[in-house]
Chains A and B, each alone.
Chain A
Amino acid sequence: MTVENPPRSRFGVTADFTGGQAVLAVRGAVDAFGAPVLGALIDASVARGYPSVLVDLAEVDGVDELATSVLARAARRLAVADGGLTVRASPDVVGLIRSAAGLVRWIRFEPTHGRPGFVATEQPARGPGSRAGVAQSNVVDDLLRMRAVPFDDDAVDGVLRLVVALARAAVGGADGVSVSLRRRGQLSTVAASDRTIQEMDKAQYGTGEGPCVDASRRGRSFLVGSLDDETRWPAFIPRARQLGINAILSTPLLVADRPVGALNIYSRTAEAFTPKDRALASVFGAEASTVVTDAGLAVTGDQLADRLGAALRTRQVIAQAQGVVMEWEQLSAEAAYDLLRDFSRGSGRPLLERAEDVVASTQGSRSDPVAVPGSAPRIVESDRGREQPADATGSQRTDCG
């Protein structure tokens, strides 16, 4: 099979903040998927103190009406922020934007010589302040690398605001939606549809209880059909009533199966959420989780620290076991590692557990004896003898993790 790298027509943006303005060079199709992301990135540029933005569409495959309206709205916001939007594009794309966008007067155009829907093999030379040396980044697919340029949390927040807006529009019973994320150990609201909703979240952080807090902590959904019948969260519920809320649905955001926050949907009407609404909440919760997951580890710094710490400990145990096997079996480092890995593979148990067995065997405290007593070198051989062929273990679950 032959694949191409990078995949063709995949939407992506290269961001350059090295000059006086943000340069967002777009590739792929600016369609229903790409356009909102582009809008969020322009917002993020403003948030980072770059109210002047150049959107380079010279290499896009296609631009649709959604893109033009996103650009027009962004242009207005940038103008309000004392900046401005410049669009570099082929004359045809410029014409398309001019004809479709009602707020086009806010946009400054820089026509190029390319053709729409086709990437010219020889692009016009770029002027000063070009993107040379700037890391390529594929938005959403790989926001992690965006951290190489000053994007970090803001880009994520921008996309989460979109998720909130979409959830607010799509969930029938919703009067307000928010996303809470745990950052630096604290839950905070990164996107909310209005101030009341923000207050609802804050009331939960303040009291340390509520469906949002519990969904973020326990990693499962919490539904409050009607506040009248609700007995959980006695400190929070009265505050929710004061704010006129009667039903709440909090869906956890998960990164690698660990809860990092919640998507919260609030309604003024008791029993407002239908089964369809609850299904939609799951969908939007999963979308928001994907955004956070794809942002890499930037937004879950606490977990990154924990995860790296655990990874280092695991590495250390494996390295110790590797050393033991090297000595016992007189093997090279790689051969010793291969042997350990074969144990893991044959037994269906994680490499870490097998390494712990080997290390423990040198300390006389193994819980799972694998050695022939009194003969350290044969620990390996004896254990190998107990292995099942890898392909004979069938579908199995282990207790790892």
Chain B
Amino acid sequence: MQRDRSGPTVVDPAYDALDTFRRSAGLTREELWLRYFELGGMSTALELEAFLYGALVPTDHDHDVVAHALNERFVELGGNHPVPYAADGDRG
């Protein structure tokens, strides 16, 4: 069913990817924020959520703190570091 409802449309796959990684990592948005905060992230939980939704664009540094929080979770789960870093120039 199509809806004529305007809303933010995310066109940058990087943001969608971050939230997809969050779900694969089995983290709630709150838990991800705590982990991000723990690693030194400076944005609020609401801002982080906006990053995940693509409503706000994080700085590269902020993006990489989120990416690392996710990657540490993946390592806990026995994986590697699947989330790309902006610092590598491979974000998005």
Contact = CB atoms under 8 A, between A and B. Distances in A.
Given A341-B64, A397-B75, 10 more contacts: A1-B13, A2-B10, A4-B7, A5-B55, A119-B5, A337-B40, A338-B64, A345-B85, A390-B80, A396-B75
Given A337-B40, A338-B87, A4 B34 contact: no
Contacts of A80: none
A326 B54 CA distance: 32
Contacts of A118: 1
A363 interface: no
Nearest to A351: B39
A315 B40 contact: yes
A344 interface: yes
A318 B37 CA distance: 11
Given A315-B38, A322-B40, A8 B3 contact: yes
A296 B54 contact: no
B9 A308 contact: no
B9 A5 contact: yes
A101 interface: no
25 contacts: A3-B16, A3-B54, A4-B10, A5-B7, A5-B9, A5-B54, A8-B5, A119-B3, A121-B5, A293-B28, A296-B30, A311-B34, A314-B39, A315-B40, A334-B61, A337-B61, A337-B65, A338-B61, A338-B64, A341-B64, A341-B65, A348-B75, A348-B80, A390-B81, A393-B80
Interface of B: 1, 3-5, 7-11, 13, 16, 27-31, 34-35, 37-40, 53-55, 61, 64-65, 68, 71-72, 75-76, 78-81, 85, 87
A318 B1 contact: no
A401 B71 CA distance: 14
A9 B5 CA distance: 11
B38 A311 contact: yes
Contact of B37 (A5, A315, A337, A396): A315
B34 A396 contact: no
Contacts of A345: 68, 71, 81, 85
Contact-size category for A = 35 or more
A400 B79 CA distance: 13
Nearest to A338: B87
A308 B34 contact: yes
B64 to A, nearest CB: 7
B22 to A, nearest CB: 13
In this complex, the member of B9, B71, B80 whose beta carbon has the largest number of chain A beta carbons within 10 angstroms is B80
B11 A144 contact: no
A394 interface: yes
A302 to B, nearest CB: 15
A117 B75 contact: no
A311 B28 CA distance: 16
Contacts of B65: 337, 341
A121 B7 CA distance: 13
Given A297-B30, A311-B34, A351-B68, A400 B75 contact: yes
A314 B75 CA distance: 18
Given A1-B16, A5-B55, A6-B7, A344 B68 contact: yes
A398 B80 CA distance: 10
Given A314-B39, A396-B78, A9 B72 contact: no
Contacts of A393: 80
Interface string A334-377: 10011001001100101110000000000000000000000000
B76 to A, nearest CB: 6
A234 to B, nearest CB: 38
A397 B31 contact: no
A165 interface: no
Interface string A378-401: 000000000000110111111011
Contacts of A3: 9-10, 16, 54
